[in-house]
A = this chain, B = another copy of it.
Amino acid sequence: MFLSTSHNKIDLKCRVSIPASYRLNLEKESSPLILFKSLQFKCIEGTTANRMQQYIDAIDQLNALSDEAAVLRMMMADAFEMKFDSGGRVIIPETLMDFSGLTDKAVFMGIGESFYIWSPSEYQIQYDYSQQILKEKGPPKLILSKSNLLKDVSNE
């Protein structure tokens, strides 16, 4: 699992340390790290090769000629397999830096199966929004059974 949040520096060579716990998780899954443009937000998403395949399969299930599928394929085309240096750093590709608005600081946000890399300002927006939702609506009412089923009863 990718969990927790950390704020790391991006140096002049566009190098950034991937949090040790994330690297450990990749090692455990014996997977390289894949970075690509988030399909939902102005940030980079990082994940395992397996998880990436899931995304690709999901796109395949859409109408191949639809605009939606075309857009998703474009996003996926900008996916990169990363190489670590001896200190656990990667060089963030320029297209991803530009897309996510990253400059000198990166916020790593673990969300389970994958993680996001935000610019500090975009991260703050996202965080504040989530906090606001939590205040207004309260915690999501999920019933977690042993069979991993999810039932949303918020409208009942």
**By the criterion CB–CB under 8 Å, are B81 and A3 in contact?**
yes
How many copies are assembled?
2
**By the criterion CB–CB under 8 Å, are B70 and A4 in contact?**
no
Q: Is A57 an interface residue (CB 8 A)?
A: yes
Q: Which of A3, A113, A127, A133 counts the most chain B CB atoms within 10 A? A: A3
Given known pairs A56-B113, A59-B111, A112-B76, the reply for A144 and B70 (CB within 8 Å) is no
**By the criterion CB–CB under 8 Å, are B59 and A1 in contact?**
no
A71 touches which one: B71, B93, B140 (CB < 8 A)? Answer: B140
**By the criterion CB–CB under 8 Å, are B149 and A110 in contact?**
no
CB-CB nearest in chain B for A129: B70
- Specify which chain B residues have a CB less than 8 angstroms from the CB of A86 in the assembled complex: none
- Specify which chain B residues have a CB less than 8 angstroms from the CB of A60 in the assembled complex: 113
Given known pairs A77-B109, A145-B149, the reply for A40 and B52 (CB within 8 Å) is no
Instruction: For residue A96, give the distance in angstroms from its CB to the closest CB of chain B.
Output: 10
**By the criterion CB–CB under 8 Å, are A64 and B49 in contact?**
no
- Specify which chain B residues have a CB less than 8 angstroms from the CB of A95 in the assembled complex: 5
Sample of 22 A–B contacts (CB below 8 Å): A3-B34, A3-B76, A3-B81, A5-B77, A39-B139, A40-B64, A40-B138, A40-B139, A55-B142, A56-B111, A58-B144, A59-B111, A62-B150, A62-B152, A67-B133, A71-B130, A71-B139, A73-B111, A73-B112, A73-B130, A74-B134, A145-B149
